[in-house]
Structure 1
Amino acid sequence: MKDSQMSDFRSLIRPEINDLPDYNAGLALDRFRATYGIDCVAKLDSNENPHGPSPRAIAAIEAAATGVARYPDAGTLALRQAIGTGYGLPAERVVMGNGSEDLIGAIFRAVLRPGDHVVTICPSFGLHEFGALACGATVSKLPFNEDWSFPIDGIVDALADKPRVLMFSSPSNPAGPAITSDGFDRILAGLDPETLFVFDEAYVEFLSDDAKFNALERLETSNLPWISLRTFSKAYGLAGVRVGYALCANEVLAKSLLKTRNPFGVNALAVVAAHEAFADVDHLEHSTRATMAERGRLYEEMTKRGYSAAPSHTNFLFFDCGESGAGFAEKLRHKGVLIKGWLEQPYENWARVTIGTPEQNNAFLNALDSLKG
């Protein structure tokens, strides 16, 4: 190729994509060992479930493995029917995806036009912002209040301009707080039918009892356009097979997502695993309760050590490192402990640590102590 033809081909790529930052993913164990030459003692950077999935889900994967030469059911009907029955919704209003991230992209592709406005909160799950920017939209990020309560006033004010999409998570990723029922009702009262409300509930199973309320019931009676996102990656322990779902206000919204997502995005092994995991309520209860107990203990131990953490209703804690979060996480990696340093402004001095088993959490605490020693 001639020198005049040499190029990185950036001109072929839309400016919105060139300008996007890289996704801040956790580090896979094999890459960690290859890079650092040591074993991992506590992988706490990706909000995975340390208790694993239901044994019924594993058995279902093994039983279905011989059938992988065939395409899965593109309509995932049996799983959608089971989920719909669980929530009192028709299967036609349930859409499956390759994790809820797949559905976030499908939502934005279905509704956003260049120049449209999206409102979210800060700090936020990166794809709530990046997915919108990739479609040529503008994004407003509203900061939490100083006490880590949701910025309800700011959201309601922003809704007066009728943004195309309002999207945020509760319990929040990466911060951890959960919206109150009163705050949720105020947002619904401020919404206009021209704004799609996407309520990301990826961590809803970890809510403390005193913070729970029936958001789905409120959405159902609102007569507004809404989508609730859920996942099998967190509480259900199926992060590796990638399966999430959307509950939609009506079939029109659901059908739009079917047109913008990959038709075979949910593989056959993921479908059967999710079906069994959804049915095994005892395993889910045991797993979430164990995580919630450790969450309280880890919060207390970190407070004793002088770290400030946001109140959490999730399977992680978001805390102030007192220095670069990325640099702090790098120090812990050399001790075999993985957490995620946050890169979003103005939280570059914060990090997120997953709630692991008691042994994993103790390894994290010991690593913290060794840094101060």
Structure 2
Amino acid sequence: MAFMTASESTAPGIRLRPEIAALPPYRQGRPAPDDGFKLSSNENPHDPLPGVVEAVAAAASTINRYPDATALALRERLAARFGVTADEVIVGAGSVSLIAQFVLAAAGPGDEVVYSWRSFEAYPGLVTVAGATSVQVPNRPDHGHDLDAMADAITDRTRVVIVCSPNNPTGVIVTADEFEAFMARVPADRLVLLDEAYIEFVTDDEAVDGSTLLGRHPNLVLLRTFSKAYGLAGLRVGYAIGPVAILDAARATAIPLGVTAASSAGALASLEAAAEAELLERVSVIAERRDRLRAGLIAQGWPIPQAQGNFVWLPTGEHTVHVADRLFEASVVARAFPPSGIRISVGEEASVEILLGILGELVPTSQEGHPK
């Protein structure tokens, strides 16, 4: 019997959607050397709390059973926290999976999704998979959202608008006043997703806080995650809060049983008072480290924008690959976005000195506009 090779078994005549065939897959940050620092994925550098590990391990004893498809216990805990009903909360495999669900629920072929650019790199792919069209509105010179321009970009074809605060990868917030003015301009029948994946790291009192807007806008959904501040990136669990009708539409687009029992157990354990207090203390440490790193880079001459997530943004432009390679040679893996810039996650304390050392040798010259 003759067997086909892997390449031969792929039928060349299969008709794939051309826009999907041309879509590059989501790319994770490359791994760091054994003696280096992985600062490419905005992960929390702290080890998981022992109580969280224990809760996840306990959940593993029932992996022969399907999890609760709706993550009811976690939804009830979050609902109590935010003063909403459990039906106004949806839990997914990270906030990015929920964004995908909302886009699928609201936009299809011929429709448009408006968002700032550069912003979260997954947005374009999620829109393409839904069959819709991306409308990317350039960031302001300070690397923040141009909400007036985004409002101007809304047309009869617009179905979804995504606002990311703090913006990933640039770190700039949307202020509460800016967002309120923006919502006043958005038609009430267009879905607005407020992506707050890094809200816990924000120290600017002027930043928008979606939790204060619950119930005020019938077209607004806020999204958050346990991946960053709570250090559960490997468990993939996030949540969204909004009107029941919108959430039900997103539930209809979900892959069933996407949130595991271990994910729910880890999130619930993280919300226990003592655990959460310790986790948020870690967040404060990371925020202070971020501010110190940014201040050091600015003192060197780097034009670092406002940083309110757990990362800083280097606007390296056409020299992005060169600077990223120099960092890698120094055993630091950062996330390069050619030809725009480099996002550097705030990691272990020891990484700060190394970053300042190597980047101090690469400061852009004022005359030539490129790294030394």
TM-score (norm 2): 0.89
Equivalent-residue separation in structure 2 for 1:322 and 1:143 (angstroms): 15
Structure 2 letter corresponding to 1:368 = L
148 and 320 in structure 1: CA distance in 2 versus 1, 3 angstrom threshold: closer
Structure holding more helix per residue:
1
1:275 to 268, 277, 287: 268
For residues 21-40 of structure 1, the aligned pairs below 5 Å read: 21-28=24-31, 32=32, 38-40=33-35
Aligned position for 1:183: 178
Aligned position for 2:369: none
CA drift of 1:40 comes to 3.8
CA drift of 1:238 comes to 0.5
Aligned position for 1:234: 228
CA drift of 1:218 comes to 2.5
How many equivalent pairs are there?
357
Equivalent-residue separation in structure 1 for 2:81 and 2:13 (angstroms): 47
Q: What is the RMSD computed on CA atoms of the aligned residues?
A: 2.3
Equivalent-residue separation in structure 2 for 1:321 and 1:118 (angstroms): 28
Structure 1 letter corresponding to 2:224 = R
CA drift of 1:197 comes to 0.5
212 and 152 in structure 1: CA distance in 2 versus 1, 3 angstrom threshold: closer
Matching of residue 197 in structure 1 with residue 200 in structure 2: no
Structure 1 letter corresponding to 2:22 = D
- SS of the residue aligned with 2:350? helix
CA drift of 1:121 comes to 0.1
- 1:98-147 deviations in whole A, cap 9, x for unaligned? 11111121112212120101100010112222111222211111112213
Tell me if structure 1 keeps the 8 A contact 2:165–2:208. Answer: no
Matching of residue 291 in structure 1 with residue 294 in structure 2: no
Matching of residue 330 in structure 1 with residue 321 in structure 2: no
Structure 2 segments unaligned to the other structure (5+ residues)? 364-371
What percentage of residue pairs aligned between the two structures are identical?
Answer: 33
Equivalent-residue separation in structure 1 for 2:261 and 2:13 (angstroms): 37
Structure 2 letter corresponding to 1:352 = R
2:240 to 222, 246, 251: 246
Equivalent-residue separation in structure 2 for 1:219 and 1:84 (angstroms): 11
Matching of residue 73 in structure 1 with residue 79 in structure 2: no
Structure 1 segments unaligned to the other structure (5+ residues)? 33-37
Structure 2 letter corresponding to 1:305 = Q
- 1:146-173 deviations in whole A, cap 9, x for unaligned? 1334312112212364610001211100
Structure 1 letter corresponding to 2:344 = V
Equivalent-residue separation in structure 2 for 1:231 and 1:141 (angstroms): 24
Equivalent-residue separation in structure 1 for 2:340 and 2:67 (angstroms): 44
Aligned position for 2:20: 17
Tell me if structure 1 keeps the 8 A contact 2:108–2:132. Answer: yes
For residues 50-65 of structure 1, the aligned pairs below 5 Å read: 50-65=45-60
TM-score (norm 1): 0.89
349 and 150 in structure 1: CA distance in 2 versus 1, 3 angstrom threshold: closer
206 and 325 in structure 1: CA distance in 2 versus 1, 3 angstrom threshold: same
- SS of the residue aligned with 1:293? helix
Structure 2 letter corresponding to 1:76 = A
